Structure 1
Amino acid sequence: MDLAGLAEAGAVSIGSATVATALVALLGIPLAYLLARRPGRAMAVLGFVVQLPLALPPLASGTLLLFLVGYASPIGRLTHGALTDSFPGIVLAEAFVSAPFLIIAARSAFAGIDTALEDVSATLGHGPWAVFRRVSLALAWRSIWAGLLLTWLRGFGEFGATVMVAYHPYSLPVFSYVAFGSEGLPAMLPIVLPTLLVAVAVMAASQFALTPRRARVQPTSNGIVTAPAAAAAARPGPQPLDFAFRRARDGFTLDVSWRTETRRLGILGASGSGKSATLRLIAGLDRADVAAMSLNGLDMTGLAPPDRAVAYVPQTYALLPHLTVHRQIRFARDCDAALAAHWTERLSLSELEHRYPAELSLGQQQRVALARALSRKSRLLLLDEPFSALDALLRARLRGELRDLQREIEGTTILVTHDPVEALLLADDLLLLEDGHVLQSGPAEQVFMRPASEAVARLLGAENISAGIAVTPDTIDLGGLRLWVGGTPLEPGSVGWSVRPEAVRVGTNGHLPATLLQISDVRGGQRRLRLRIGTTVLQAAADPGCDLAPGPCRVSIDPHAVQVWPA
């Protein structure tokens, strides 16, 4: 056995496989990201080409490469045959046949990453390269490592394409083939043994690298943290927000505009109405066909997400799974350490700083997402249905907490929700959307009491929808009976109106005569009643222990609970 030749062949295979893997990593990882993030026919064709070497026999791959870079090809003539029968030829052959292993693994890993993680990172001030490096690559690295391992081993053991493109210098597989042909099977043991050792060493190294190693972060002091001046100061004055977006995609057209000066804003609509799409356009995460946006006199239309100083909390909270709570809260590029410490304490997260997102409850995840968003000086805080994944009790508690937080936040908050109770609690100005278009906008109380149409009233959760005639600026005729209403004066004429059952009370002091038609069983802690007032039949609510019987009764209705709209 030619041990010197064996050593030289082994060095050639190790070196060429390493160079080929580095080359594949340099070009293949960005390509895999594009394949995962840029759907379309062109990317589909490119993905097909990338996987082609897996379908070709190695000898066929080598033959194809000879057509492309051999002596007779244009590239071969240009390089004077430097890419065949040479070390670069071996690298080229190994890279060609092994590249799919890395690209496919990396593409699958990138495709499995929630794009909301990248979106949130962009709104936290990180540019595209930083988002790719600190989020996408950080989350996909284990799959990429496995792909690199397979790529290296495939290149190290490649024979068919190598023997066609670069018979010299001998790589280890070619050397093995020559040695077997000249000396037979006994000569194989010195070759197989080091090859096996190399494979085992690489596999062991990969397993070590794939083993998770979590750094533990000690919780910060539980002492009282003094609120930074920005958080402790009184809420500043109006901050005018003005935007107009038009965007047509996949058969859905979003055409929305709004001008407001209030700092607590709500966007209300049913699922698919365009609420979240509007929020993403405000954050700069999506592009509109026509766009204009300014905040407090600053034109933000052309600003990229990292430059908008907008904090974004998506429905999923988008916590980075590879970061502890401590690092999560401080992830923003321009994180303010004092603000981070304040909100960590204010939101009761000090004891959780060493945990990862998977170790947190939904309520804890929401608080971490809020703390992360608030730990930088932002002009806008965008909340996309932050309570949708929570149970009723937790939702009610966290709504109250957020309402308190809004008094401390310096910037403007925009809440997206489909829950009218949530919108009325957490917003002073409302924008109501349906099918991508604005139904109504204005102060929350005014929108609630004077919806523009029955569609708006239903979106606001209207019950007991009825018809009547406005006879004075503050009364509606219900077939001979007068219903008093609050709010702005009414125009004479036919109107639609509604009132919540809880605002209709039966009692001896009621100002309206009525007839109690039906008494139902207790549900949700209340007994539902069905009664007639004039020509209108309404649902009412009563305490479970009420002593009522069908027949004539008196009813009182809170005038400020009555919604009225033009018929």
Structure 2
Amino acid sequence: MTQPAQRAARPLWWLGALLAVYLCAPFLASIPQIGQADWAGVDWSQTWSAVAVSAASASVAAVVILVGGVPLGYWLARSQSRAVALLGFVVQLPLALPPLTSGVLLLFLVGPYSGIGQLFNGALTDSFTGVVLAETFVAAPFLIVAARSAFTAVDPVYDDVAATLGHHAASRFFRVTLPVAWPAIRAGLALAWLRAFGEFGATVMVAYHPYSLPVYTYVVFGGQGLPAMMPLLLPTLAIAIVCAVLSVYSRGARSTQAVSQDNGDDLTAFTPATSAAERPDLRLAFAARRQLGAFTLDVAWQPQTRRLAIIGPSGSGKSLALRIVAGLEPNDAGSVTLGTTDLGALPPERRQIGYMPQDYGLFPHMTVAQQLAFPVDADAQSARYWLAHLGLDALTQRLPRELSFGQRQRVALARALTRHTQLLLFDEPFAALDTPRRRRLQQSLRTLQREIGAVTVIVTHDPDEAALLADEVLVIEHGRALQAGAIDEVFQRPATLRVAELLGLHNVGEGVVTAQGTIETRGGLRLPCADTSLATGTRVMWRVLPRALVAAPEGRWQGRAAGTSLRHGDRYVAIEIEGETFDIAADDRPSLAHNSVLRFDIDASGVLAWPAQDS
């Protein structure tokens, strides 16, 4: 039975088929005419001479277009200038102009009566040079458009990663950006060559002699008619067919199925060595300041350990701070130091760091072996060690698209570690993964952290990830630091309600000490507290541990069930007590219907309190 979606698509299929028939029909219509061709009257010497002129001039024009068109396409793709945008429009105009008009415009520039033409004594017209000039003018836009689109499509993260691996701008362009863009540029070059080979209008205006194949075909048609012209179509058709076959073959050869991404995420071959010794001198410190439009980042941090996390919501500036540490963004009047090294004074290619964006930044055109050899100061012995240690020995000839997420992560780590990196920066490394795979990879990275001596910085919005992979955490929002400190301290005593919210903490609130051992919450609930050191009238943050709420038939407080929630596989029941809502573990308790009422006691030893900060 035909599905509704298939029925809806059928008119579109017929429209496409109609155009396809029209485009194929002229080729089919020419087949019966082959018998009418005047083969005896063909001047083969002149024909092959015309073919040679067209092929040679198109090849020279293609080289000229390639040499100038690739840099121009890159410039157009990367520049934000309005003047450059206008230039991009102008250089594409030959696509819209009638070829004869293009020829007239060229005569204004290089004709025998123009300034340039007189400078060359008329040698730029009616010559092989004139043919090349005409073909270059009309065919160049095909390559420029392809190059511009190709460079626009190249993820800028590849350039960023290459910079952190020690490569300067020229090396990054020729070894990363250009190879990634090359398939599309190559297609544009092929179109430019074919357009130049078949160019007639501009060529006949600028260089009637020597005859190119299109001009010679026109001359024969005008002098001897259609039968004499028909054999001249064969070279053009043959070249077009060869190019089409090569294009299809090349496209088929490039299509490779990626392996399943359901396996290979664990460090199965990784047996941790002795934990790396802490280096007291290897500490990261930075003051990141950056103005981007209406957004201002102004964050300073001097942690005391080497496993760090920056946590915050989307748009908080955490990734920008990481890029400043990496040297990929300017730091306005800020600083970055690692131990005694002033990283802020160095460009990214000299900072000796490993930077891993969300998709790990593996270059799509390089095999695993090539990835590990790419860093400027890659250590071959270290590369072999990490290949074996991370279970990558059998993957050295695979491209990134043939690797699972876990394998990609390990390759990116190995690539960074081959250069004895002292600072590893991870920007949301697990954000795009499903929960089971994310948990496996987090544990794998934690295992590796215990072996290497590098400082690691994880940017994340997941508080559980920060707690697992870091010893210290920086919480930021709107470009400002909300709190920084040891993981246990920050999670136990969030500075503000907003910090508690960003850390996913529950049973936290603000209140005032009304008497020793008593805290009145904003909702009016009087909480008992074992800490009697806080003076009466002190504004505090409080937290009630789930174990502190005990259901008891004769309990002091009456609570009402307000719903259930599931967090990391554990079920919690929300209990409302005198205007405050608390989450308590529901695993060992009977199921509570919504709005059911129970009595509770609150254990004072499970109520934590500390002085509040300004929000």
Counterpart for residue 541 of structure 1: 585
TM-score, structure 1 as length reference: 0.87
Counterpart for residue 114 of structure 1: 155
Alignment of 1:276-287 (within 5 A): 276-287=319-330
Q: Does 1:67 align with 2:114?
A: no
Q: 1:249 aligns with which of 289, 292, 311?
A: 292
SS of the residue corresponding to residue 369 of structure 1 reads helix
Going from structure 1 to structure 2, the CA distance change for 1:399 and 1:306 (only over 3 Å counts) comes to same
Q: Is the 8 A contact 1:238 1:263 kept in 2?
A: no
Q: Does 1:555 align with 2:602?
A: yes
Give the distance between the partners of 2:137 and 2:333, measured in 1 at CA: 44
Give the distance between the partners of 2:535 and 2:557, measured in 1 at CA: 26
Q: 1:301 aligns with which of 324, 344, 349?
A: 344
Going from structure 1 to structure 2, the CA distance change for 1:427 and 1:224 (only over 3 Å counts) comes to closer
SS of the residue corresponding to residue 366 of structure 1 reads helix
Counterpart for residue 438 of structure 2: 395
Q: Does 1:426 align with 2:473?
A: no
Going from structure 1 to structure 2, the CA distance change for 1:309 and 1:389 (only over 3 Å counts) comes to same
Q: 1:360 aligns with which of 399, 403, 409?
A: 403
Counterpart for residue 483 of structure 1: 529
TM-score, structure 2 as length reference: 0.81
Give the drift of 1:295: 1.9
Counterpart for residue 506 of structure 1: 550
Q: Is the 8 A contact 2:513 2:540 kept in 1?
A: no
> Structure 2: which amino acid aligns with 1:530?
I
Q: Does 1:370 align with 2:410?
A: no
Going from structure 1 to structure 2, the CA distance change for 1:496 and 1:5 (only over 3 Å counts) comes to same
Q: Which of 267-276 and 433-442 deviates more?
A: 433-442
Give the drift of 1:436: 1.5
SS of the residue corresponding to residue 566 of structure 1 reads coil
Q: Which of 293-302 and 376-385 deviates more?
A: 293-302
Counterpart for residue 11 of structure 1: 52
Counterpart for residue 137 of structure 2: 96
Q: 1:125 aligns with which of 149, 166, 171?
A: 166
Q: Does 1:197 align with 2:220?
A: no
Structure 2 residue ranges without an equivalent (≥5): 1-41, 258-263
Alignment of 1:102-501 (within 5 A): 102-212=143-253, 233-470=276-513, 476=519, 481-484=527-530, 493-499=537-543
Q: Is the 8 A contact 2:317 2:478 kept in 1?
A: yes
Q: Which of 138-147 and 339-348 deviates more?
A: 339-348
Give the distance between the partners of 2:248 and 2:560, measured in 1 at CA: 74
Give the distance between the partners of 2:499 and 2:505, measured in 1 at CA: 9
Q: Is the 8 A contact 1:453 1:565 kept in 2?
A: yes
Give the drift of 1:356: 3.2
What are the superposed Cα offsets for residues 195-245 of structure 1, whole Å, 9 maximum, x if unpaired? 3223333333444444436999xx9xx9989999xx974232232333223
What are the superposed Cα offsets for residues 106-156 of structure 1, whole Å, 9 maximum, x if unpaired? 222222222222222222222222322232222222222211111111111
Give the distance between the partners of 2:608 and 2:435, measured in 1 at CA: 24
Q: Is the 8 A contact 1:179 1:187 kept in 2?
A: yes
Q: Is the 8 A contact 1:505 1:541 kept in 2?
A: no
Give the distance between the partners of 1:76 and 1:403, measured in 2 at CA: 71
Going from structure 1 to structure 2, the CA distance change for 1:72 and 1:461 (only over 3 Å counts) comes to same
Give the drift of 1:98: 0.3
Counterpart for residue 7 of structure 2: none
Structure 1 residue ranges without an equivalent (≥5): none
Q: 1:26 aligns with which of 64, 67, 76?
A: 67
Q: 1:528 aligns with which of 573, 596, 599?
A: 573
Q: Is the 8 A contact 2:167 2:375 kept in 1?
A: yes
Give the distance between the partners of 1:290 and 1:85, measured in 2 at CA: 62
Give the distance between the partners of 1:297 and 1:472, measured in 2 at CA: 50
What are the superposed Cα offsets for residues 423-451 of structure 1, whole Å, 9 maximum, x if unpaired? 22222222221112222323333333443
Q: 2:98 aligns with which of 37, 45, 57?
A: 57
Q: Is the 8 A contact 1:145 1:206 kept in 2?
A: no
What are the superposed Cα offsets for residues 239-292 of structure 1, whole Å, 9 maximum, x if unpaired? 233322332224322222223342112111110001111111211222344443
Give the distance between the partners of 1:100 and 1:357, measured in 2 at CA: 33
What are the superposed Cα offsets for residues 21-69 of structure 1, whole Å, 9 maximum, x if unpaired? 0000001112112222223322321211121000000010111111122
Going from structure 1 to structure 2, the CA distance change for 1:16 and 1:520 (only over 3 Å counts) comes to closer
Give the drift of 1:417: 0.8
Q: Is the 8 A contact 1:451 1:564 kept in 2?
A: no
Give the distance between the partners of 1:311 and 1:393, measured in 2 at CA: 26
Q: Is the 8 A contact 1:269 1:433 kept in 2?
A: yes
> Structure 1: which amino acid aligns with 2:573?
R
Going from structure 1 to structure 2, the CA distance change for 1:437 and 1:473 (only over 3 Å counts) comes to farther
RMSD: 3.5
What are the superposed Cα offsets for residues 339-390 of structure 1, whole Å, 9 maximum, x if unpaired? 3333333333334444433333333333333333333211310001112122
Give the distance between the partners of 1:223 and 1:483, measured in 2 at CA: 48
Give the distance between the partners of 2:121 and 2:349, measured in 1 at CA: 49
> Structure 2: which amino acid aligns with 1:242?
A
Q: Does 1:79 align with 2:126?
A: no
Give the drift of 1:556: 3.3
Q: Does 1:46 align with 2:91?
A: no
Give the drift of 1:531: 5.5
Give the distance between the partners of 2:241 and 2:604, measured in 1 at CA: 81
Going from structure 1 to structure 2, the CA distance change for 1:84 and 1:415 (only over 3 Å counts) comes to same
Q: Is the 8 A contact 2:564 2:574 kept in 1?
A: no
Q: Is the 8 A contact 1:238 1:262 kept in 2?
A: no
Give the drift of 1:522: 8.1
> Structure 1: which amino acid aligns with 2:528?
R
Give the distance between the partners of 2:393 and 2:141, measured in 1 at CA: 45
Give the distance between the partners of 2:97 and 2:534, measured in 1 at CA: 79
Give the drift of 1:9: 2.3
Counterpart for residue 8 of structure 2: none
Give the distance between the partners of 2:268 and 2:436, measured in 1 at CA: 29
